[in-house]
Copies of this chain bind each other. A is one copy, B any other.
Amino acid sequence: MPQVEPGPDSRRPTIRDVAAQAGVSIGTASKALNGQGKLRDETRARVAAAARELGFAPNVLARALLAGRTYSVGLITTDSFGRFSIPVMLGAEDALGAGQISVFMCDTRDDPARERQYLDMLISRRVDGLIVTGRRIEPRSSISTPPGIPVVYAMTQSLDTDEPAILPDDYGGGMLAARHFLAAGRRRPGHITGPARFLAARKRASGYCEAIAQAGGHFSPAEVLYGEWSERWGREGAHILIGANPGVDAIFCGSDQIARGVSDTLRLLGHRVPHDIALIGFDNWEPMALGAEPPLTSVDMCLEDVGRTAAEHLLAAINDAPTHGVQIVPSRLVIRESSDPQLQSRSAARRSDRGPAMPPEQGGPDESGVAMPGSEQNATGDDG
User: Measuring CB to CB, which residues of chain A are less than 8 angstroms from any residue of chain B?
Assistant: 1, 3-4, 6-7, 10, 12, 55, 57-62, 64-65, 70, 72, 80-83, 86, 89-90, 93, 100, 102-107, 120-121, 123-126, 135-136, 146-148, 160, 162-163, 194-203, 205-206, 209-210, 220-233, 235-237, 254-255, 257, 260-261, 264, 287-288, 290-293, 322, 352, 358, 360-364, 366-373, 375-384
Contacts and interface: CB of A to CB of B under 8 A. Distances in A.
Closest 10 CB pairs of A and B: A221-B371, A197-B375, A231-B291, A3-B147, A196-B372, A206-B370, A226-B375, A229-B384, A222-B371, A227-B360
Contact of A381 (B100, B195, B376): B195
B222 A373 contact: yes
Contacts of A229: 381-384
B61 A65 contact: yes
Nearest to A137: B384
Contacts of A124: 57-60
6 contacts: A57-B123, A83-B287, A196-B364, A196-B375, A225-B373, A236-B360
Contact of A83 (B136, B160, B361, B383): B383
Contact of A379 (B82, B125, B228, B291): B228
A1 B147 CA distance: 10
B65 A59 contact: yes
A344 to B, nearest CB: 15
Given A237-B360, A384-B255, A12 B293 contact: no
Contacts of A136: 382, 384
B227 A361 contact: yes
Given A264-B293, A384-B255, A195 B375 contact: yes
Q: Taking the full assembly, how many copies of this chain does it contain?
A: 2
Contacts of A205: 370-372
Given A59-B124, A293-B264, A361-B227, A366 B222 contact: yes
Nearest to A105: B105
Contacts of A107: 90, 93
Contacts of A120: 57
A55 B367 contact: no
B293 A384 contact: no
Given A196-B375, A197-B379, A363 B148 contact: no
B126 A291 contact: no
A291 B292 CA distance: 12
Contacts of A147: 3, 6-7, 10
Nearest to A221: B371
User: Which residue, A61, A86, A148, has most C-beta atoms of chain B within 10 A?
Assistant: A61
A256 to B, nearest CB: 9
